[in-house]
Amino acid sequence: MNSIFREYDIRGIYEKELNERTTKLIGYFLGLHIKKIGGVVALGYDARSHSPILCDYLTSGFNKAGCEVLNMGLVATPVNYFANYQSFDGITPNASVMITGSHNPSEYNGFKITIDKKPFFGEDIYALGREIMKNFDMSIEDNVTCKKIDAKNRYIDFLVKEFEHLKDFDTPFVYDCGNGVAGVVAPQIFEKLGFTCKGLFVEPDGTFPNHHPDPTVEKNLVDIKKELSREFDYGFAYDGDADRIAFLTKENNVKGDIMAIFFSEAMENPTVVGEVKCSQVMYDTINEYGKAYMYKTGHSNLKVKIAELNADFAAEVSGHLFFNDRYFGYDDAIYATLRMIELVKNGLNVDERIAKLPLVYSTEEIKVKTTEEEKFGLIEKVKELLKNPPSDFPYIKEIIDVDGVRVIFDEGWGLVRASNTTPVLVTRFESTSKSKVKEYEEKLNALLKKAKESL
């Protein structure tokens, strides 16, 4: 059971791991934490068939802990986060839980937790898991008492008002909800703003009958690319719970770090937080007119860092985009769509701007299978080997170890980090030279192989 308590959230297979007993216990022991700061928790859930069932189990646990439960029903994850900043009939949540399997297969589900407007993650989640395991025989009766709230329409109205200046935007675009919960908010917002657009797979369906709701995977973008080859100029695709975005033009699939450049260029003296997988082009470009910080991968990590630095913006390559400028500092793919439309309306030519950026060659994320027990040990071994690398190893300018190992070479960089959610190492390589990016990949992988052999 310990495997469901992950670095950033709680996640597992419905009934096998997230069943009635475990979910009620999560609600109860999490509720004891929330009770200390006021005891009001807002719950929302995604389109999976078991999400409302898990919501009832959680509600029973929270009621047992003496919390007041606000139920917002079927919503996108950003709506769940948004509820933390609202008052409903004079009641303001002290915490929220989003029940979602995000982009995972339909048998999975999970909980993204916010307490006192901050992510509940890392050691807090692991400690919660230990507490539950010690009390696993505890029985909790059914009690689904809750107060229904309409956070969804509050969110829709908020965004429509915030972006009413876009009402005359008529450049055609297409958006793909992937049968996730973006479909419960995006069409209404775009219609109210009078956009010329077409929605794909907007009907929420937790079996994901058309394609997997993960826009970082190229094969999941086939349908939207077909539409872009016709009359549409731009495309937006969302993951299962609408906190990640993919942005496409007819020529480019624009990753989160490149979008960060666009957004920051429209801000005055911006402070931007990126993760270790972001392109050096992003850091170098932003540092010309603002300040860019490199930090750990993970939406919870970036939310904490953006608050700590009071940064304007944060970005992950995968499309988690966090706006603290004119917004609340959390990742919201629908809000990011509207900010991108705003840039285009204000004159940004996306493809021309990309063409003017320094040319680099980079790999996608390459995943190397390992085990939960070995993955962090491998990173430590790689660090040790880098202190005295082989004679044919490329010259090392700098080593950044904020999250795994990012090795800065003369003409690029290579990254090896342990995933916090799966038993894999994640590698990525970038260079201004095609041959160098291959060399960096080969040399760092050879070092990784040596590290494996020595364990």
* Structural domain boundaries in the chain: 2-151, 163-356, 361-454
Q: How many CA atoms lie within 13 A of 338 on its CB side?
A: 26
Q: How many CA atoms lie within 13 A of 371 on its CB side?
A: 4
CATH fold group of domain 361-454: TATA-Binding Protein (3.30.310)
> What average pLDDT does the segment 326-330 reach?
98
Q: Assess contact for 49 and 85: CB atoms under 8 A.
A: no
Q: Which class in CATH covers the domain with range 163-356?
A: alpha beta
Strand ranges in 281-423 using DSSP code E only, listed in sequence order: 291-295, 313-315, 321-323, 361-362, 366-369, 396-400, 405-409, 412-418
Per-residue pLDDT for 1 more than 80? no
Distance CA 137, CA 431 (A): 55
CATH fold group of domain 2-151: Alpha-D-Glucose-1,6-Bisphosphate; Chain A, domain 3 (3.40.120)
Annotation says 431 is catalytic: no
Most distant CA pair in the chain: distance in Å?
69
What is the pLDDT at residue 420?
Answer: 81
What is the pLDDT at residue 423?
Answer: 87
Q: What is the pTM of this model?
A: 0.96
Which DSSP letter does residue 358 get? P
Which DSSP letter does residue 91 get? B
Which DSSP letter does residue 440 get? H
Identical topology for domains 2-151 and 163-356: yes
Per-residue pLDDT for 443 more than 70? yes
CB atoms within 10 A of CB 261: 22
Distance CA 140, CA 83 (A): 27
Amino acid present at 270:
P
Per-residue pLDDT for 2 more than 80? no
Cα distances from 126 to residues 30, 33, 156, 182, 292, in angstroms, run 12, 14, 35, 30, 31
- Identify the active-site residue in 51, 60, 96, 102: 102
Kindly report which listed range (349-358, 373-382, 419-428) carries the lowest average pLDDT score. 419-428
> What average pLDDT does the segment 135-152 reach?
97
Q: Average pLDDT of the chain?
A: 96
- Percentage with pLDDT > 70 across the chain: 100
Kindly report which listed range (19-28, 383-392, 421-430) carries the lowest average pLDDT score. 421-430
